[in-house]
Chain A
Amino acid sequence: MTAVSRDEQRSNTSVSSPPSDAPGPMDWVEALTGGGPEQSAALRELHTLMLRAAAHQVWRMRPALPDPSPSAVDVIVNQAADEAMTALLAKLHTFEGRSRFTTWAFKFAILQAATEVRRLQWQHREVELRDLDVPSAPRHEDPELYAEGNDLAAAVAAAMRGVLTPYQRRIAIALLVDGIPIDVLADRLGTNRGALYKTLHDLRVRLRAELTANGYLPVHPANPPDPAPSDARSRISPTPTAGTP
């Protein structure tokens, strides 16, 4: 039994069978660190997994690519798989077996590929950090949606002005209004996804507290699965933020 096939037996999910050059009966971490021909085989097998997950991710986001041709996709997939493999091997000691190794490996390739597609998507676009008063480029939104949400939108704009710092407002607008992907913005600002998400979380907490104090949000909010259509003040739905690839 190979490292992959043993890994497969730990779960009922439907990830396909291992490639034919699978290493011998040892677990993945052992195989990848043990040296000799088994390590080489395990590394080849891991690379195949990374290519598969990277290809899955790049094809998912392919419409966002400036050049979506199969040959361009292939280049991105290979590069993402290589970089993800390096990232994974550096973190191999942290694998605790809470999931199958293959699932754990896939997430590295998915992250790398998604980040690379977003980078390419914005490669030649300027990233602007604007405040609330600076108009954005024209959008293509339904004007009726504007009218319906206007009362709450005005309250949110006032709260942004009142309780957020200029930096928080600019980050909020860049990520949630202008739809700049978080990795792209992080890269341009010389920071990282985690730091920007922390800023986003903190400003959302401030905005929610202000809107709750002003009666626009319930005091003990749940996260409703759907917006309540009868009341514009409660149209807070768990939709993904702008900037979804």
Chain B
Amino acid sequence: MSTTPRPDSAALTPRNVSALLQDTTPWLSCDECFERMDSYAEALVHDPTYRDEAMAAHLRGCAACDEEAESLMRLLDGR
């Protein structure tokens, strides 16, 4: 006798669900993110209203690049 596996929805917290359903469009790769990170960080430190939608989408969806971009901005900002 076998049992059909059931979706383990209880294992997904709202935080997990948010992360899984994060809208990461427009597409930007980690390499492109790294290429643009310096000018993006400078622009954002200089003007907090600066927008780069592809960078913002990538950073919402990629925890590692997000940490590094945040760190770079803090370093530039002297924080």
Instruction: Point out residues on A near B: beta carbons under 8 Å.
Output: 11-16, 53, 56-57, 60-61, 98-100, 103-104, 106-107, 110-111, 114-115, 118, 132-133, 135-136, 139, 141, 145-146, 148-150, 152-154, 156-158, 160-161, 172, 176-177, 181-183, 193-194, 197-198, 200-201, 204-205, 207-208, 211, 217, 221, 223, 227, 235-245
Are the C-beta atoms of A200 and B61 separated by less than 8 Å? yes
Are the C-beta atoms of B42 and A100 separated by less than 8 Å? yes
Contacts A153-B17, A200-B61 known; list 16 others, CB within 8 Å. A11-B46, A56-B74, A98-B38, A106-B72, A106-B76, A110-B68, A114-B71, A133-B6, A146-B10, A157-B9, A177-B12, A201-B27, A204-B24, A205-B25, A223-B23, A243-B63
Residue of B nearest to A139 (CB): B13
- Residues of chain B with a CB closer than 8 A to A53's CB: 75
In this complex, the member of A118, A150, A157, A227 whose beta carbon has the largest number of chain B beta carbons within 10 angstroms is: A157
Are the C-beta atoms of B66 and A156 separated by less than 8 Å? no
Residue of B nearest to A12 (CB): B46
Contact residues of A: prevailing secondary structure: helix
Are the C-beta atoms of B29 and A149 separated by less than 8 Å? no
A-B contacts, CB under 8 A, total: 199
Tell which of A56, A118, A176, A217 touches B75, judged by Cβ atoms closer than 8 Å: A56
Q: A60-B71, A208-B23 are in contact. Are A153 and B14 (CB under 8 A)?
A: yes
* Cα distance, A172 to B12, chains bound together (Å): 11
Are the C-beta atoms of A238 and B22 separated by less than 8 Å? yes
The contact string, 1 if C-beta is below 8 Å from chain A, for chain B 1-24, is: 000011111111111111111111
Are the C-beta atoms of A152 and B24 separated by less than 8 Å? no
* Cα distance, A222 to B11, chains bound together (Å): 27
- Residues of chain B with a CB closer than 8 A to A12's CB: 46
> B52: CB under 8 A from chain A?
no
Q: A13-B76, A240-B66 are in contact. Are A153 and B12 (CB under 8 A)?
A: yes
19 residue pairs bridging A and B, Cβ less than 8 Å apart: A11-B42, A56-B74, A98-B39, A99-B41, A106-B75, A107-B34, A110-B72, A111-B68, A115-B64, A133-B5, A141-B13, A145-B15, A153-B12, A160-B7, A177-B11, A201-B27, A211-B21, A235-B18, A245-B63
Are the C-beta atoms of B14 and A182 separated by less than 8 Å? no
